[in-house]
Amino acid sequence: MPPSNSKYPPIQPGGSLIVAWQVKNKHILVVGGGEVAAGRIVHTLNADANVTVISPSSGLNDEVAHRIACNQVTHIDRKFTPSDLDDNVDMVLVAVDDPDASTKIWQLCKERRIPANIADVPSECDFYFGSVHRDGPLQIMVSTNGNGPRLASMVRKEIAAGLPGGTGEAIENVGRLRRRLREVAGAKGDGPKRMSWISRVCEVWSLEELVEMDDEDIEALLRYYSSDKVPTFEQVRLGDKADAIVFDGSMGFAC
């Protein structure tokens, strides 16, 4: 056993590996057409997946029917058959009120090594869906490892309520800065320096300043990269004038 005062984080068994699964252009099957299926469809479409819904038309709720009518998903108007897994399927999400049928689909997916999630059956899931807060590129997921989905939603709302406004916009701007930095300093060996410099920008600039950052600010910031310096927001906006502003001991600032 490691000493209790170890400088390393303690191991807490029983959790899940929380990852951001990239499914853009992947083929995902959603079996079912009710409320749970509708939620699964939203999650996968938001992740730019190619979604096929397998369900008799009589089992579609209004939201799923809307997705089909708008050609956001492909619809197969019948119940699931094993041959549905033959078409280069990357993931299967089952949301039908039939435990026996769900288990059979789970077993088929296991045989073919296709990751699957069987709604409301944690033991038949390769992964769980959590409660997600979304603000542009920002995604925060709360998972209870299948123990309490409603409680996860309550926790997620509490976290979202505590976030400062403009967080998503600030992240978008930092992403633009990172992409532009790669264009001007894209050498493979520059990776650690780029990451360190971007991290320092996020520490020096406030969230409000990152929200205000525009293309001109990005270009001005990049001029400091080669010297490995991080200017303040004021230095970027004022340029040389910022260096001439000094405190003279009075109630204000003088040049």
Q: Which residues pair with 75 in a beta bridge?
A: 53
Collect all residues with Cβ–Cβ distance below 8 Å to 54 and sequence separation of at least 6.
Answer: 29, 30, 31, 32, 76, 78, 79, 80, 84
> Catalytic residue at 48?
no
- Asked if residue 86 lies in contact with residue 63, where contact means CB atoms within 8 angstroms, the answer is no
Alpha-carbon distance of 120 to 128, in angstroms, equals: 10
How many Å apart are CA 27 and CA 90, to the nearest integer?
5
CB 93: neighbour CB atoms within 10 A?
Answer: 26
Burial letters 152-182, b for 16+ CB under 10 A, else e: beeebeeebeeeeebbbbbbbbbeebeeebe
Q: Find the Cα–Cα–Cα–Cα dihedral 119, 124, 127, 130, rounded to 10°.
A: 30
Extract the tokens encoding 40: 């699964």
- Among 77, 90, 98, 120, the one annotated catalytic: 120
Which SS3 state, helix, strand or coil, does residue 151 take? helix
DSSP 8-state code for residue 71: T
Strand pairing partners for 93? 30, 117
Q: Which residues are catalytic?
A: 120
